[in-house]
């Protein structure tokens, strides 16, 4: 009987701890209007770095470092990628996994119904499945902050994005999410 009681207490403690992690991640997401961060993106072993700003829902501005030296912008409806050498690509945001990653209400609703995985006792992972997209989203286990995601891009390449130096609820420049045009 004592062994049963001890096992029950240990299991109950673990489920309470996991529940509080989920609750804290949801609470943290709920209180965020925007994020700015540095990123490192690995697409098929090609590394790109830069800085991004996200404003919920579905707005993002990313400035990539050299050598790519490109800009990615979403105004919430369209996603534009423009390179300094003049290449210009425009997609409906709904055709990309970013439509889900940039929608905190969607993330919160999904997380509420998903089981988390603890990775290396540092990260919390949720796997989201929506409209033929599999999105792995990662949070810091201790401070509940978003630390990255893994998806397949529009060309079905594995894209892993790590984020760091996260700042929340900054005052943003006006028109930062205005889509660039071809000159």
Q: Which of 34, 179, 22 shows the shortest CA–CA distance to 112?
A: 22
* d(C-alpha 158, C-alpha 160), whole Å: 7
Please tell me the pTM assigned to this model.
0.85
Residue 26 has pLDDT above 90, yes or no: yes
Residue 6 has pLDDT above 50, yes or no: no
pLDDT confidence bin for 19, thresholds 50/70/90: low
Catalogue all structural domains in the chain, each as residue range(s) with its CATH number.
2-168 (2.50.20.10)
Lowest-confidence region among 3-12, 19-28, 154-163: 3-12
Higher local confidence (pLDDT), 99 or 19:
99
Higher local confidence (pLDDT), 23 or 182:
23
Contact 44, 36 (CB under 8 A): no
Residue 167 has pLDDT above 60, yes or no: yes
Higher local confidence (pLDDT), 96 or 105:
105
Contact 74, 102 (CB under 8 A): yes
150 CB-near residues (< 8 Å, 6+ apart): 135, 136, 138, 158, 159, 160, 161
What integer is the mean pLDDT of 139-150?
Answer: 96
What mean pLDDT, rounded, does the chain reach?
Answer: 88
* d(C-alpha 160, C-alpha 174), whole Å: 29
What is the percentage of the chain residues whose pLDDT exceeds 90? 74
What integer is the mean pLDDT of 94-105?
Answer: 94
For residue 114, what pLDDT is reported? Answer: 95
């Amino acid at each position: 009987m004592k062994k049963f009681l001890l096992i029950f207490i240990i299991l109950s403690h673990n489920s309470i701890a996991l529940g509080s992690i989920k609750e804290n991640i949801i609470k943290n997401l709920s209180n965020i209007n925007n994020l700015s961060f540095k990123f490192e993106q690995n697409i098929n072993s090609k590394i790109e770095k830069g800085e991004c700003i996200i404003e919920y829902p579905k707005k993002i501005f990313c400035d990539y470092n050299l050598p790519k030296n490109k800009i990615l912008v979403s105004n919430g409806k369209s996603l534009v990628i423009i390179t300094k050498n003049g290449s210009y690509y425009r997609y409906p945001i709904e055709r990309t996994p970013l439509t889900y990653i940039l929608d905190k209400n969607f993330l919160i609703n999904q997380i509420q119904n998903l089981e988390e995985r603890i990775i290396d006792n540092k990260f919390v992972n949720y796997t989201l499945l929506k409209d033929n997209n599999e999105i792995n989203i990662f949070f810091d286990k201790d401070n509940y902050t978003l630390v990255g995601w893994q998806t397949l891009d529009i060309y079905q390449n594995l894209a892993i994005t790590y984020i760091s130096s996260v700042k929340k609820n900054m005052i943003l420049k006006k028109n930062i999410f205005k889509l660039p045009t071809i000159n």
